[in-house]
Structure 1
Amino acid sequence: MDRDLTLEISGRAAADIAASVRALIERGALQPGQALPPVRTLADTLGVNRNTAVAAYRQLTRAGVVVTRGRGGTHVADRSAVPQEGFAADSVLRDVATGNPDPDLIPDPSRALARMAGRPVLYGEPVIDPGLEQWAQSWMRSDLAPEELRLTITSGAADAVERLLAQALVRDDAVALEDPCFLTSIHTVRVGGYRAVPVPVDEEGMTVEGLRTALDQGVRAIVCTPRAQNPTGASLTEARAEELRAVLRAHPYVLVIEDDHFSMLSRRPFHSLIGPDHRRWALVRSVSKFLGPDMCLAVTASDPDTAERLAMRLTPGTTWVSHLLQRLVLALVTDPEVVAGIEAAGAHYADRNRAFAERLTALGIHAAAGDGLNLWVALPVPARDVSEQLMRRGWLARPGDAFVLADAPAARRLRLTVHDLGATDAERLAADIAAAVRAAGGRLVTAGMR
């Protein structure tokens, strides 16, 4: 700290102390991420009871102005934007960082649109289209252990996760997130004012020890990607899922949210954290990866109490997702030609990622294709140095540290979206990555690098 902030914070009552801190933040005297004085130090300087200082910080925390980090102290909340998926704006570089599906593999809805028209839906009618509900019941029940479930339709997976967390948590509650983590999940937790607790991810998904540690820290919710984890491509194995369920048996009321975003495109079997006796849970499946990002619809299966709370969170705003959109989704996912196209798209993504990983490995850069739209590539040098070198060669890549909560090794990872590259461009990118590694001072090796 450049100066003693305790000399600038004033007040005798908790509300006055909190207002003083707010004023310092608004004037720019306190910057995002900056540490506030320890409670005891502040209380002694102001001549107030320690509980008064605690109450002031609690008010600021609930308002989302500051965040607490346990023994790490209290810090001004970081309001900076989290990077998001999608094309970079105004870039002349070839973008291999988008995280987008291939537009050529998204089904054309024209034929389905022509046959989906029906009577208007009015206020007070059921919020889920009956046909979609029947199809979704079968889709979700086939992979869930709990016998009793309810369905909710939301405007995409991010909307579902945000509302699920909001109905269960208050500001500064702890949420277990995978590390490295999906960008939207980081953004959702930050905006909600929750405290992210990182759980490391390896080749088999969320780690057992990481989950156990997060539960010991008092997390009230867990957000997990059971397969095609973004950015790593990892999927839960059957053995790992069973180990995680065993840990969760002692915590049946911790909300478990599974975001199975790749669902119908996945090349991996579905294994769940949700055991048959878990009391608070939700499985979310959106259609954006296989029907297109503009099809803002997700199906959420959850326990009845969570479903009721989620429905209440929908009431003040959206209330329901358009029945026209619901009918369009149903028309597409029940069309044998569309379903065959989705299957072919999943195979295409897997084949393209596997082929590119083999190109990199042949050049001395370890890469293993997981499941999903992207590749998670290990480097012998910092990824930001490599991405800067790639920019000079005409490529825009995404360094792994954008996805990191606490895992430093991700600073030596690139996340690449390469499934839409033809053979010539794929060969050129692989060669340019190898050249960029050398230019950044890295050494290429023939053996796999871990």
Structure 2
Amino acid sequence: MGPQITGRSAADIAASVRALIERGVLAPGDALPPVRNLADELGVNRNTAVAAYRQLTQAGMVVTLGRGGTRVADRSPVAQEGFAADSVLRDVATGNPDSDLIPNPSRALAGVVGRPILYGEPVIDPDLEIWAMQWMRADLAPSDVRLTVTSGAADAVDRLLAQALVRDDAVALEDPCFLTSIHTVRVNGYRPVPVPVDDDGMTVEGLRAALEQGVRAIVCTPRAQNPTGASLGPERAAALRAVLADYPYVLVIEDDHFSMLSRTPFRSLIGPERKRWALVRSVSKFLGPDMCLAVVASDPDTAERLATRLTPGTTWVSHLLQRLALSLLTDDAVVSDIARAADHYSSRNVAFAQKLSAHGVPTTAGDGLNLWVALPVPARDVSEQLMRRGWLARTGDEFSLGAVITDHRLRLTVHDLDDGDAERLAADIASAVRAAGGRLAQAELG
């Protein structure tokens, strides 16, 4: 049975396993004995062993993986977006918007002060609610829409999952997956079920398989999927909605993080008859990450549950911040700046993809801030070679949940490179591929 687990009651068995984990006898990823085997070994009822494992799961000490059994939880940190700390290398792995393209809020700040907001008042600013309702309703099929404001998209997804799930519940995530979603699921002890993503977004067969495994929630990025840049086409979205129609009470969360910057039409998984759903749109990509605000449109029941986690006076979003966001989003000059930023991200990514292709690394730009680059050799090898040339890149395996092979991918953030640096990076990637033993696509060489 491996490390000696002891105890006659569920509490004693759980305490024994916890002690083995804390002493390092059981390491993250180690398998625990099957319930039946453990019960036989200890001479206890099978239900006692089940209760012990349930206590450990609720405490976040172990995770259940279906046919993969019960294993010690992995508490290693998930990679995070943003600049790498203490690096002298040129960082093309950040996932950040261009700071020069974020509107300056100074002019709008003076006009947002207004009267003080007191305890017990509505948590959403009335004027923002009117504007946001039009913004969200335009892309939603359900007729009954309620709005909530949260401290960004990550906060929204975390709260939405928390009001619908408990530890060890299964949640469908795209694979490859946005790093923050991986972090949220791991920290809360949910069981991730990967749904492969291809060039058209979440796959139909992958979603069907996840639903058959009993997922209680789905997190999907309909356009500008991070890291791949994939967006749902009309046929794929319709096929996914058809699969979901048989599961109306599974919570569907759509994270439309790129929204006003996207050059791809929004196509939703949320059909008119869906019972549990939420559409999340943050302002971080176009008004800046420090504008911690997202609008959530959802069904009434989800909105009510979400509201209980936004107690006025403790976890509401500042009305000053809400007024500032509204002031910027209704300013014609700011809206024009956002449109120019959208054109910039799109054109710079397309231009760099063409440079890479010309150097023998065929690449197509998707939507979003980043490029998802396929390599003929392991990305780790190419990343090491790039470090020697002064670049810090992010490898695809950081975004993997295991259903899709991503270890031959790089995710690059290149929209802030000038033409000279972009050409140098493209040439260095080609050189790094060769140094790692890969062959370039000769047909692309000019």
Tell me what 1:394 maps to.
390
Alignment of 1:348-363 (within 5 A): 348-363=344-359
The SS at the match of 2:173 is strand
Normalised by the length of structure 2, the TM-score is: 0.98
Tell me what 1:144 maps to.
140
Deviations 1:404-441 (CA, angstroms, capped at 9, x unpaired): 00135211000000000000000000000000011111
Alignment of 1:103-252 (within 5 A): 103-252=99-248
Partner residue of 1:15 out of 3, 11, 14: 11
Tell me what 1:51 maps to.
47
Tell me what 1:101 maps to.
97
What amino acid sits opposite 1:183 in the alignment? Answer: L
Partner residue of 2:407 out of 407, 411, 415: 411
Asked whether the equivalents of residues 121 and 312 of structure 2 are also in contact (C-alpha less than 8 Å), the reply is no
Q: Which runs of 5+ in 1 are unaligned?
A: none
Q: Distance in 1 between matches of 2:165 and 2:362?
A: 40
Matched, 1:281 2:277: yes
Tell me what 1:5 maps to.
2
Tell me what 1:33 maps to.
29
Asked whether the equivalents of residues 387 and 397 of structure 1 are also in contact (C-alpha less than 8 Å), the reply is yes
Deviation at 1:443, TM superposition (A): 0.6
Alignment of 1:78-93 (within 5 A): 78-93=74-89
Asked whether the equivalents of residues 82 and 96 of structure 2 are also in contact (C-alpha less than 8 Å), the reply is yes
Deviations 1:192-237 (CA, angstroms, capped at 9, x unpaired): 1000000000111100000000000000000000100000000011
Alignment of 1:302-321 (within 5 A): 302-315=298-311, 318-321=314-317
Normalised by the length of structure 1, the TM-score is: 0.97
Tell me what 2:360 maps to.
364
Matched, 1:297 2:293: yes
What amino acid sits opposite 2:239 in the alignment? Answer: E
Deviations 1:359-399 (CA, angstroms, capped at 9, x unpaired): 11111112110000000000011101110110000000000
Deviation at 1:339, TM superposition (A): 0.1
What amino acid sits opposite 1:85 in the alignment? Answer: E
What amino acid sits opposite 2:237 in the alignment? Answer: A
Partner residue of 2:369 out of 370, 373, 390: 373
Deviations 1:112-160 (CA, angstroms, capped at 9, x unpaired): 1122221111111111111111100000000000000100000000000
Tell me what 1:261 maps to.
257
The SS at the match of 2:7 is coil
Asked whether the equivalents of residues 146 and 299 of structure 2 are also in contact (C-alpha less than 8 Å), the reply is yes
Q: Distance in 1 between matches of 2:419 and 2:410?
A: 20
Tell me what 1:72 maps to.
68
State percent identity of aligned pairs. 79
The SS at the match of 1:24 is helix
Deviations 1:18-52 (CA, angstroms, capped at 9, x unpaired): 11000101111111111111222212211222222
Deviation at 1:317, TM superposition (A): 7.8
Asked whether the equivalents of residues 258 and 283 of structure 1 are also in contact (C-alpha less than 8 Å), the reply is yes
Q: Paired residues, what number?
A: 444
Q: Distance in 1 between matches of 2:34 and 2:248?
A: 35
Asked whether the equivalents of residues 123 and 312 of structure 2 are also in contact (C-alpha less than 8 Å), the reply is no
Deviation at 1:74, TM superposition (A): 0.7
Asked whether the equivalents of residues 362 and 446 of structure 1 are also in contact (C-alpha less than 8 Å), the reply is no
What amino acid sits opposite 1:78 in the alignment? Answer: D
Q: Distance in 1 between matches of 2:82 and 2:429?
A: 21
The SS at the match of 1:405 is coil
Asked whether the equivalents of residues 224 and 259 of structure 1 are also in contact (C-alpha less than 8 Å), the reply is yes
Q: Which runs of 5+ in 2 are unaligned?
A: none
Deviation at 1:349, TM superposition (A): 0.2
Q: Distance in 2 between matches of 1:427 and 1:82?
A: 32
Distance 1:447 1:55, change over 3 A: farther
Deviation at 1:12, TM superposition (A): 1.0
Deviation at 1:61, TM superposition (A): 1.1
Alignment of 1:414-425 (within 5 A): 414-425=410-421
Q: Distance in 2 between matches of 1:446 and 1:117?
A: 61
Asked whether the equivalents of residues 360 and 442 of structure 2 are also in contact (C-alpha less than 8 Å), the reply is yes
Tell me what 1:443 maps to.
439
Deviating more after overlay: 117-126 vs 148-157:
117-126
What amino acid sits opposite 2:226 in the alignment? Answer: N
The SS at the match of 2:309 is helix
Deviations 1:265-300 (CA, angstroms, capped at 9, x unpaired): 001000000000000000000000000000000000
Distance 1:324 1:418, change over 3 A: same
What amino acid sits opposite 2:410 in the alignment? Answer: L
Q: Distance in 2 between matches of 1:373 and 1:446?
A: 28
Deviation at 1:445, TM superposition (A): 1.0
What amino acid sits opposite 2:359 in the alignment? Answer: L
Q: Distance in 1 between matches of 2:178 and 2:204?
A: 19
Deviations 1:46-90 (CA, angstroms, capped at 9, x unpaired): 122222212211211122110011111110000111011000000
The SS at the match of 1:338 is helix
Deviations 1:328-363 (CA, angstroms, capped at 9, x unpaired): 000000000000000010010000000000111111
Deviations 1:242-281 (CA, angstroms, capped at 9, x unpaired): 1000001000000000000000000100000000000000
What amino acid sits opposite 1:292 in the alignment? Answer: G
Q: Distance in 1 between matches of 2:243 and 2:299?
A: 20
Q: Distance in 2 between matches of 1:268 and 1:382?
A: 31
The SS at the match of 2:85 is coil
